[in-house]
Amino acid sequence: MVLRIATRRSPLAWAQYEEVVRRLQAINPALAVEAVALSTRGDEIADRSLAPIGGKGLFISALEDALCDLRADCAVHSLKDVPAALDPRFVLLAILPRGDARDCLVGAATLAALPAGARIGTSSLRRQSQILARRPDVKVQPVRGSVGSRLDRLASGELEALVLAQAGLERLGVDPRETTVLETEESVPAIGQGALAIECLRHRAGELEILRALHDPETAACVLAERAFGVDLGVDCTAPVGAFASLAKDGEFTLLAYAGSADGLHSYRDSLSGREPDALGRKLAQRFHEQGIRKLIAQTP
């Protein structure tokens, strides 16, 4: 059997595919693997926000089409691009051990060190909201495209700083000269950030049993809390919302979450601890509902 894995063509997506292959071949060195490299609408539309035209789901639709057409057996995704409410035809068969879930600031030592009017690049409303909540005097500029093209815009002087995912830089082996990792309390990560997921058709899960060996229960439990929060709050992965769960040695989860307006003028963050990740996510979402956050998010363009 040749295992056909669907992946996007971008450098970061390819690095994620290679990580999955390394892990699979460590389990079964004789396993034959073939990449089904695809371009997605999310990759092709680089000149405007994805939120009004389908959000981050645009990054996975072409890969899911390949699963349905049996051109691929499974697909590898960055979990933060996977809608929290998954199409019931599909299942996330494995969630890999999480990389660094934090955001990082590239081009400046701290957000506070940037001068008034500094141009900060990010394509994320979540990051934009948290930046402007702390620094309303800076200018957030939308940037899309590959990590390399974003770093080029910083190097050219078009921007004074960038906010990126630390896991993406690490997977690409990129180490910009001035990079500061932002702690989760400072910049609450996207739901599922830093984790990779392997998706397949639900009815084919049994024949793809080898993929379950890649599953990391701790990461899966943490992102379950985050995704339950997102589902119960009724948001997609383009909303100015973040959630990050961690597991203590005593078996208790702590879930930290943020929601705000795109301009950062209104925001709410809260945290909660518990032992059942799904219930924890739903309970924290209820606190956000009580603060009227859903109405605030609905007004985000």
Residues designated catalytic: 81
SS3 call for 34: strand
Q: Measured between alpha carbons, how far is 200 from 211 in angstroms, rounded to an integer?
A: 10
DSSP per-residue letters across 106-124: ESSS-STTSPTT-EEE-S-
Q: Which residues of 244-259 are buried (b: 16+ CB within 10 A; e: fewer)?
A: bbebeeeeebbbbbbb
Per DSSP bridges, beta strands 119-121 and 161-165 are parallel
Sheet of strand 119-121, all strands in order from the earlier edge strand to the far edge: 139-141, 119-121, 161-165, 103-106, 179-181
From the list 253, 241, 260, the residue with the least C-alpha distance to 193 is 241
Q: Which amino acid is at 269?
A: R
Instruction: Enumerate residues 6+ apart whose C-beta is below 8 A from 245.
Output: 221, 222, 223, 225, 226, 253, 254, 255, 256, 277, 280, 281
Alpha helices in 125-256 (DSSP H): 125-134, 147-155, 166-172, 217-233
Tokens 């109405």 belong to 295
Dihedral of the alpha carbons of 108, 238, 211, 66, in degrees to the nearest 10: -120
Q: Measured between alpha carbons, how far is 279 from 283 in angstroms, rounded to an integer?
A: 6
Sheet of strand 2-8, all strands in order from the earlier edge strand to the far edge: 32-38, 2-8, 74-78, 196-201, 90-95
